[in-house]
């Protein structure tokens, strides 16, 4: 590969005999320079000879200045043409390698890199959403009142997604303590209880969600987190009852004080009490006695029922 600096030095000091022409591969011009120089030497010292030698020296200096001021790319294209073509072919082969057929190992590596990049973008998106939710003002409910349990509910959803189900249940319980009519909290805590395989509590909160207006029954039938409930024996009658718990009818008190009166003059059966409030209070008390409701949940639901 020829260097323009070396060519310029040869032209400056040996341009009189055409050394730069031989170096640059211009053998014809180099031979012409050398021929005229030898001819001038054989002609002897005379004004014509001095003029020829002076012109050769001046042309050598001009060539040196021209070579030094020439752009490197232009120099390569003019005097290093094979090298420039080789560089272009290497660049095109590199481009074809990048865009052409890759080996299976390279393809798997690029696929892993792409998946990592997508996971990183997804984490960044979720982090931005969480930050936005923290800074976003809570929406106001009807009547201009704020949703008091929204922050606890969102905290419970966060714990649920992180598979911390007990902490999610505690957060949903706090949300229901602040707003016992929150349909989303009832449904979410039912899912958490189902994952924890506490079927009775899950059925209860799912019943409350439906009672408060939840009507996406297909979601109950297909939701993955409610799979444990769907394999329970109580689920078919629960689904047949429009996803509500069956309430037992109140039985009349039996007269055991006086058997004779009971045998001779049976008293008419007392009317069945179907007061929904009484039934719900009885059901809450039964769930608390079984240990299915905490004192906080019992007090919250009782306070809600009693207004």
Closest CA to 20 of 9, 10, 28: 10
Contact 214, 187 (CB under 8 A): yes
226/97 Cα distance (integer angstroms): 52
Predicted local confidence at residue 300, as pLDDT: 78
Q: What are the helix (H) ranges across the chain?
A: 4-14, 19-23, 27-43, 47-69, 72-79, 81-99, 104-135, 150-161, 165-178, 183-195, 199-211, 217-222, 227-230, 235-240, 259-264, 276-289, 295-305
First to last CA, the chain: 96
CA-CA-CA-CA torsion sign (28, 33, 34, 36): positive
Closest CA to 239 of 252, 262, 261, 222: 222
Q: How confident is the model at residue 71 (pLDDT cuts 50, 70, 90)?
A: confident
Closest CA to 33 of 46, 47, 15: 15
Tens of pLDDT along 262-291? 444 455 544 444 456 777 777 777 777 776
Across the range 255-266, mean pLDDT stands at 44
Contact 205, 234 (CB under 8 A): no
Least trusted range by pLDDT, from 18-27, 46-55, 111-120, 127-136: 127-136
CATH number of 147-242: 1.25.40.10
Q: Where in the chain is the domain with CATH 1.25.40.10?
A: 147-242
Tell me which of 241 and 256 has the higher pLDDT: 241
302/284 Cα distance (integer angstroms): 8
> Which positions ≥6 away from 63 have C-beta within 8 Å?
8, 11, 15, 20
Predicted local confidence at residue 167, as pLDDT: 92
Predicted local confidence at residue 247, as pLDDT: 65
Question: 3-state class of 272 per DSSP?
Answer: coil
Contact 175, 149 (CB under 8 A): yes
Per-residue pLDDT at 81 exceeds 90: no
How wide is the angle at C-alpha 115 spanned by C-alphas 112 and 120, nearest 5°? Answer: 125
Distances in whole angstroms, Cα of residue 269 to Cα of each of 215, 227, 251, 254, 282:
38, 43, 9, 9, 21
């Amino acid at each position: 590969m020829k260097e323009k600096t070396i060519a310029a030095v040869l032209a400056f000091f040996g341009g009189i005999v055409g050394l730069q022409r031989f170096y640059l591969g211009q053998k014809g011009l180099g031979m012409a320079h050398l021929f005229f120089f030898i001819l001038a030497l054989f002609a002897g010292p005379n004004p014509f000879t001095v003029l020829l030698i002076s012109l050769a020296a001046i042309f050598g200096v001009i060539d040196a200045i021209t070579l030094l001021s020439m752009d490197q790319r232009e120099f390569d294209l003019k005097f290093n043409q094979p090298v420039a073509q080789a560089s272009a072919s290497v660049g095109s082969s590199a481009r074809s390698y990048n865009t052409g057929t890759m080996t299976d190992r390279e393809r798997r590596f690029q696929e892993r890199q792409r998946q990592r990049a997508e996971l990183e973008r997804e984490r960044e998106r979720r982090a931005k959403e969480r930050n936005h939710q923290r800074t976003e003002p809570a929406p106001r409910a009807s009547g201009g009142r704020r949703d008091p349990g929204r922050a606890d509910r969102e905290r419970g959803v966060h714990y649920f997604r992180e598979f911390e189900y007990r902490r999610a249940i505690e957060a949903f319980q706090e949300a229901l303590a602040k707003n016992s009519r929150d349909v989303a909290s009832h449904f979410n805590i039912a899912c958490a209880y189902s994952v924890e395989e506490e079927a009775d509590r899950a059925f209860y909160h799912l019943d409350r969600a439906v009672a408060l207006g939840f009507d996406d029954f297909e979601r109950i039938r297909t939701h993955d987190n409610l799979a444990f409930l769907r394999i329970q024996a109580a689920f078919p009658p629960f689904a047949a009852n429009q996803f509500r718990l069956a309430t037992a009818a109140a039985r009349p008190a039996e007269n055991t004080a006086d058997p004779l009166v009971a045998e001779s003059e049976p008293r008419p059966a007392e009317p069945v009490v179907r007061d929904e409030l009484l039934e719900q209070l009885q059901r809450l008390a039964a769930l608390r006695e079984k240990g299915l409701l905490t004192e906080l949940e019992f007090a919250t639901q009782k306070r809600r029922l009693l207004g």
